[in-house]
């Protein structure tokens, strides 16, 4: 089968032939990929930022946002059948540790991360587990929802944690209306009554944000922190969701957060440097976010299949993976890039 393989860090991945994965364990599931998202994390992987954390054996197949159709199942699989349309939770888990049993399965002590720790889904077939499979309406096209498997679940997970803080009359600021951010806007609009302010340096991204439910948009032009303060009456926002968190956005995000507010870090790449006095004197919170739970993904798919959350995508054939990665890196993709084998 064809797959997008990374042979070395700081090198462009290549499409090549590799053996097809096969079922070997009772809970194994092989999925025929119908859509694989191209994520900024893939750019970070290529740059080597995940090498120490995941230590994958090179070469390996990229792709951690995957949806498709069940191709083969192990003898113990009962939740899906061959032919079912599925989206895959990005981290197959054990189901037995405390985190899994408590519903925090993205913190499983024995999880794996296809596309980061070993072969992922930028390929014709992917080996995963029954626990990762969320069955979808057969009418759902995998290429339309694939990026919800990571970008979507990550945005939804952060918004879901923020919901108790976003009662009517509050303000939420969302930094970055790109691949994750445009999903976060829709989740905020669908699940809360908060006023939504979106900050981005790209005018096209801000136009999309307005269409998706933003109440106000602010151009990141160096005066955006003051603009947010003006829109919040000088108080700052109860919640800031930072989908960028690099190149200075991580400093702006905390500055936009009001007293007793919460700054949710979702994007990454920067460094947060804040005087501890500024934290304790205002009781502002800094909250990290990674992926989400199986339940988060299942709930998000209900929103997606009811039309309340939609992905804005640009599709590429698998053979054009290098072009998709280059377009994402250059900012030429509005929403998400999707590879379709």
> If you average pLDDT over residues 212-219, what whole number do you get?
97
CA quadruple 325, 330, 334, 335: dihedral sign: positive
Q: Could you tell me what percent of the chain has a pLDDT over 90? A: 94
Model confidence pLDDT, tens digit, residues 32-85: 999 999 998 999 999 999 999 898 999 999 999 999 999 999 999 999 999 999
Tell me the C-alpha to C-alpha distance, in Å, between residue 80 and each of 101, 194, 284, 304, 335. Answer: 21, 38, 44, 20, 30
**Residue 179 — pLDDT band, cuts 50, 70, 90?**
confident
**Residue 335 — pLDDT band, cuts 50, 70, 90?**
confident
Dist CA 69 CA 31 (whole Å): 5
Dist CA 152 CA 149 (whole Å): 6
* 3-state SS record for the chain: CEEEEECCCCCCCEEEECCCCCCCCCCEEEEEEEEEEECHHHHHHHCCCCHHHHCCCCCEECCCCEEEEEEEECCCCCCCCCCCEEEECCCCCCCCCHHHHCCCHHHCCCCCCECCCECCCCECEEEEEHHHEEECCCCCCHHHHHHHHCHHHHHHHHHHHHHHHCCCCCEEEEECCCCCHHHHHHHHHHHCCCEEEEEECCHHHHHHHHHHCCCEEEECCCCHHHHHHHHCCCCCEEEEEECCCCCCHHHHHHHHEEEEEEEEECCCCCCCCCCHHHHHCCCCEEEECCCCCHHHHHHHHHHHHCCCCCCCEEEEEHHHHHHHHHHHHCCCCCCEEEEEC
Q: Spell out the domain ranges in the chain.
A: 2-150+292-340, 153-288
> If you average pLDDT over residues 204-208, what whole number do you get?
93
> Are 165 and 140 spatial neighbours (Cβ–Cβ below 8 Å)?
no
Dist CA 193 CA 207 (whole Å): 21
pLDDT at 21: 97
Angle between helices 294-305 and 181-191 (to 10 degrees): 80
State how beta strands 285-288 and 313-317 pair: unpaired
Q: Is pLDDT of 193 > 90? A: yes
Per CATH, the homologous superfamily of domain 153-288 is NAD(P)-binding Rossmann-like Domain (3.40.50.720)
Tell me the C-alpha to C-alpha distance, in Å, between residue 221 and each of 82, 218, 226, 249, 252. Answer: 51, 9, 11, 12, 12
pLDDT at 142: 97
Q: Is pLDDT of 334 > 80? A: no
Residue 256 phi, psi (nearest 5): -80, -15
The overall average pLDDT reported for the chain is 95
Model confidence pLDDT, tens digit, residues 78-94: 999 999 999 999 999 99
**Residue 173 — pLDDT band, cuts 50, 70, 90?**
very high
**Residue 305 — pLDDT band, cuts 50, 70, 90?**
very high
Model confidence pLDDT, tens digit, residues 110-161: 999 999 999 999 999 999 999 999 999 999 999 999 999 999 999 999 999 9
> Are 33 and 21 spatial neighbours (Cβ–Cβ below 8 Å)?
no
CATH code at 2-150+292-340: 3.90.180.10
**Residue 312 — pLDDT band, cuts 50, 70, 90?**
confident
Dist CA 230 CA 207 (whole Å): 21
Question: How does 19-51 read in b/e, with b if 16+ C-beta sit within 10 Å?
Answer: eebebeeebbbbbbbbbbbbbbbbeebbeeebe
Dist CA 114 CA 77 (whole Å): 19
pLDDT at 331: 85
């Amino acid at each position: 089968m064809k797959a997008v393989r990374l042979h070395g860090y700081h090198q462009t991945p290549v499409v090549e032939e590799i053996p097809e994965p096969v079922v070997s364990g009772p809970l194994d599931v092989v999925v025929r990929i119908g859509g694989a998202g191209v994520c900024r994390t893939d750019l970070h992987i290529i740059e080597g930022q995940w090498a120490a954390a995941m230590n994958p054996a090179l070469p390996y197949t990229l792709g951690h946002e995957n949806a498709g159709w069940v191709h083969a199942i192990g003898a113990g699989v009962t939740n899906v059948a061959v032919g079912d349309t599925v989206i895959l939770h990005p981290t197959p888990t054990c189901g037995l540790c405390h985190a899994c049993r408590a519903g925090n399965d993205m913190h499983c002590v024995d999880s794996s991360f296809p596309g980061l720790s070993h072969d992922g889904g930028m390929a014709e077939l992917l080996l995963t587990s029954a626990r990762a499979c969320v069955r979808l309406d057969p009418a759902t096209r995998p290429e339309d929802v694939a990026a919800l498997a990571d970008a979507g679940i990550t945005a939804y997970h952060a918004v879901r944690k923020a919901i108790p803080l976003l009662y009517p009359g509050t303000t939420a600021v969302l930094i970055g209306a790109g691949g994750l951010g445009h999903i976060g806007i829709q989740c905020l609009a669908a699940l809360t009554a908060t006023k939504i302010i979106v900050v981005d340096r790209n005018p096209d991204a801000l136009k999309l944000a307005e269409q998706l439910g933003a109440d106000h948009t602010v151009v990141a032009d160096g005066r955006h922190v003051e603009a947010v303060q003006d829109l919040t009456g000088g108080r700052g926002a109860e919640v800031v969701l930072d989908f960028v968190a690099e190149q200075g956005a991580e400093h702006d995000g905390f500055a936009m957060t009001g007293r007793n507010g919460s700054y949710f870090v979702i994007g990454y790449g920067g460094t947060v440097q804040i005087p501890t006095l500024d934290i304790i004197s205002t009781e502002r919170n800094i909250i990290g976010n990674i992926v989400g739970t199986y339940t988060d993904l299942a709930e998000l798919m209900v929103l997606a299949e009811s039309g309340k959350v939609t992905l804005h995508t640009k599709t590429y054939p698998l053979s054009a993976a290098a072009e998709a990665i280059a377009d994402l890196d250059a900012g030429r993709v509005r929403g998400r890039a999707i590879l379709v084998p």
